[in-house]
Amino acid sequence: MITLLLGALTALTALQAAPPPRPKPALVVSLVVDQMRPDYLDRWRSQFTGGFKQLLDQGIYFPGGLQDHAVTETAPGHASVLSGRFPRSTGIQSNDRGVPDPAYAMVGASGAGASPARFLGTTLYDWMRAADSGTRVLSVSRKDRGAILPIGRGGRDIYWLQRGTAVTSRWYADSLPAWVQDWNARKPLDQLAGTIWTTLLPESAYAESDAYDFEKSGRMPRFPHPLPSPASALAAVINDFPWTDSLTFDLALEGLNRTGVGRRAGGTDLLSVSLSTTDAIGHGWGPDSRELHDHVLRLDRWLGVFLDSVRTLADGPVVVTLTSDHGVQTMPEFAQLNGKDAGAVGVDTLIGRIGADLRRRYAVPFDLEMDSGLLFADVAALRARGVDVPALTDRIAAAMRRLPGIARVYTPASLAAAPASDTGARRWRQLLAPSTQWLVVATTREGWMWGRIGGYATHGTTHAQDVHVPILFAMPGGTPQRVERAVRTVDIGATLAAWLGVRPTERLDGVTLREVMRQR
């Protein structure tokens, strides 16, 4: 009897000590800041007052985040975040072979069509909908691939900006809904035309020099930067200015307000927002520029207003994640000024010569296309015409190894044989699906980018500056934490699924992050 009584008392004490279950979140907000390196958050943290400050002060921050695959471009990066899978599984291996699709015309403006037709498998949205058929999603970006790929093949409210106008494609709808038409009717570019971009803070707050003539390829290298007027002129260049991110936030908030996403009784919805201006400014002025510093400060302020507004609109707790699709290399001119080995690897002439030789011999183009070190080709057509493909790949690899700035070149055979300790080879294997038709892949020397030197910065390699991204989670009622270990963007979708209690419907590459799950 005494034993039973003590056992009952122990169980009662444990029951009383157990914390009450957390209320179900009303909304999951997935934020992707295009071309956002984690060092930006540390370099300028003392100047943040808005959204970045909120997330760093209140969330779990993994500064060692990785887009752990080759071809670090926008499309593969966005496709991996909420799918929990590497590009070898999602089927999205480059921008050009991502969402462009002439079969599904743009709705709301003229221009090339887009769809998720090439995306393979499922994402967090599909798993949420399998658990709750009422789950709603809204996805907004400046770029079509930034809006489409985090959601995969599902969803309907998927919108992006074309010259400052909100659009979608016929994959999703034949016409824009009334709320998007109303947003477009406000003509936001009319309000921005003629604005002058000056620094948000006094010049003394910026350690970066504003005296480099090579930035922006010699065009607009220094502050101030006037935005063109009238709006029709601004539309052609608006993507180069910070305000495109404010338009993206505004469109997302209008969508939340008008669609009811995040306000379902007892249900959890999904909002995906991709901010693309860091990418445009990083390409044009470089990651070490005053312009990039100033834009990140402006983005911090806008993000703070946005998060506050989302929490007001949502009918319950809000889960927030933030990451990036890739980083960026230091502009070669800037690196060289600082005594670093840097440059650009140009392969167009070599690949053009190889392609021309094959056409002369076989009267077939074989679709040779080089993208961030990956040489695509119609390998099946080559084999059908009796071409010795292994011998061809060996010849191409030997020629590429002679190019300045090349570190390693892999053929299908040598990539398969590369040891696990070869980080570059591992990232290529995590990009390439068995069905991918390719001849060679290559890595540059550290500090070298693909392309040409000409006053711009870019990404796409397997090196640290391109693959390192921030990963943050802000969970309801959680405590702040900085975690100094490497995690991957594919872990985001896996962790959100586990935190929400929904089951992925396929095998994932990502794993659940224990630091986040402890706060469930």
pLDDT at 5 over 90: no
pLDDT at 10 over 70: no
pLDDT at 114 over 70: yes
Residue-wise pLDDT tens digits, 314-363: 999 999 999 999 999 999 999 999 999 999 999 999 999 999 999 999 99
**For position 2, what pLDDT does the model report?**
46
| Structure tokens, 214 | 């090579």
- Residue 516 in contact with residue 473, Cβ under 8 Å? yes
pLDDT at 432 over 80: yes
pLDDT at 66 over 70: yes
Distance CA(409)–CA(425), nearest Å, equals 10
162-166 long-range contacts, CB within 8 A, separation 24+? 162/106, 162/108, 162/109, 162/111, 163/109, 163/235, 163/236, 163/238, 164/188, 164/189, 164/231, 164/234, 164/235, 164/238, 164/244, 164/247, 165/108, 165/109, 165/235, 166/108, 166/251
**For position 420, what pLDDT does the model report?**
92
- Residue 460 in contact with residue 71, Cβ under 8 Å? yes
Cis peptide before 230 (omega within 30 of 0): yes
Distance CA(184)–CA(195), nearest Å, equals 20
Half-sphere exposure of 26 (CA within 13 A, CB side): 16
Place of tokens 């907004």: 140
pTM: 0.94
Q: Where are the strands (E) in 276-368, listed by range?
A: 318-323, 343-345
Residue-wise pLDDT tens digits, 156-213: 999 999 999 999 999 999 999 999 999 999 999 999 999 999 999 999 999 999 999 9
**For position 21, what pLDDT does the model report?**
61
pLDDT at 18 over 60: no
Phi and psi angles of residue 171, each rounded to the nearest 5 degrees, phi first: -60, -35
Q: What is the mean pLDDT of the chain?
A: 95
| Structure tokens, 307 | 């998060």
Please name which of 161, 127, 156, 163 lies closest in space to residue 145, comparing C-alpha atoms.
161
Lowest mean pLDDT among 10-19, 80-89, 509-518: 10-19
**For position 462, what pLDDT does the model report?**
97
Q: Which CATH architecture has domain 27-331+462-517?
A: 3-Layer(aba) Sandwich (3.40)
- Residue 463 in contact with residue 353, Cβ under 8 Å? no
Please name which of 367, 361, 397, 394 lies closest in space to residue 379, comparing C-alpha atoms.
367
Residue-wise pLDDT tens digits, 449-502: 999 999 999 999 999 999 999 999 999 989 999 999 999 999 999 999 999 999
Strand-strand pairing, 60-66 and 448-450: unpaired
| Cα torsion through 433, 438, 439, 440, rounded to 10 | -60
**For position 520, what pLDDT does the model report?**
85
- Residue 83 in contact with residue 90, Cβ under 8 Å? yes
pLDDT at 19 over 90: no
Fold of 343-446: Gyrase A; domain 2 (3.30.1360)
Please name which of 332, 322, 313, 348 lies closest in space to residue 454, comparing C-alpha atoms.
332
Q: Which residues, 6+ apart, have CB-to-CB distance to 386 below 8 Å?
A: none
Residue-wise pLDDT tens digits, 365-403: 899 999 999 999 999 999 999 999 999 999 999 999 999
Q: How confident is the model at residue 249 (pLDDT cuts 50, 70, 90)?
A: very high
CA dist list (Å): 159 to 252, 274, 471: 9, 11, 24
Q: Do domains 27-331+462-517 and 343-446 have the same CATH topology?
A: no
Cis peptide before 224 (omega within 30 of 0): yes
Distance CA(37)–CA(41), nearest Å, equals 8
Q: How confident is the model at residue 111 (pLDDT cuts 50, 70, 90)?
A: confident
In angstroms and rounded to an integer, the radius of gyration of the C-alpha atoms of the chain is 24
Residue-wise pLDDT tens digits, 251-284: 999 999 999 999 999 999 999 999 999 999 999 9
pLDDT at 3 over 50: no
How is the chain split into domains, by residue range? 27-331+462-517, 343-446
**For position 304, what pLDDT does the model report?**
98
